[in-house]
Amino acid sequence: MRKIKGANTKPEIYFRKALWANGFRYRKNVAKLPGKPDVVIEKMKLVIFIDGEFWHGYKWKTKKPKIKANREYWIKKIEGNMNRDKLRNRELKKLGYTVLRFWEYQIRKYLPKCIAKIQNSISAQKP
C-alpha cells in the first residue's frame, strides 16, 4: 500500500490540465479544507474530488461480495472511506462550498461531460 498515491494521480493530472485549458484557475490539494480536496476553485467556492473506484466503493453492493482476500480488513477500510466522504461533503457544504465528486473512470472516458458539469455548477451559482 506504500506505493498507492494519494495525490497527483494520472486521472487528477489529466483532469487539471483540462480545467486549465478551459480557463479555470484552481488550487490543488488544499490542506486547510476538510478532506483535502483534489481541486479547489476558491472564487466559486467549488471543491472537486476524484475518487478511485476501489478505494471509495464504486458499485459497492455488487463488488462487496466479490472481495475474497483479507475480506474483513478491506470491507472495513472501504466502508470507512465511504462514510468519511459523506462526512467531508457535509462539512464542506456547511462552509459554503459546492462539492463535486467524479470517479476516475468518468475522467478517463467522459472528461468533456465532467468539465461541462463544472461549468453548469458555476453558472447555477451566479446570480
**What confidence tens digit (pLDDT) does each residue in 85-109 have?**
999 999 999 999 999 999 999 999 9
* AA letter at 107: I
- What is the rounded CA–CA span in Å between residue 78 and residue 81? 5
Side chain identity at residue 63, one-letter code: K
Q: Taking each helix axis from N to C terminus, what angle separates 10-21 and 111-125, rounded to the nearest 10 degrees?
A: 60
pLDDT at res. 123: 85
Percentage of the chain modeled with pLDDT above 90? 86
- Domains, the chain, in order of start with CATH, read 10-122 (3.40.960.10)
Q: What is the pLDDT of residue 4?
A: 61
Distance CA 47, CA 122 (A): 11
Q: Please report which confidence band the pLDDT of residue 39 belongs to, taking 50, 70 and 90 as the band edges.
A: very high
Q: Residue 51 class from Cβ within 10 Å (0-12 exposed, 13-18 middle, 19+ buried)?
A: buried
CA distance 8 to 13: 6
Give the pTM.
Answer: 0.91
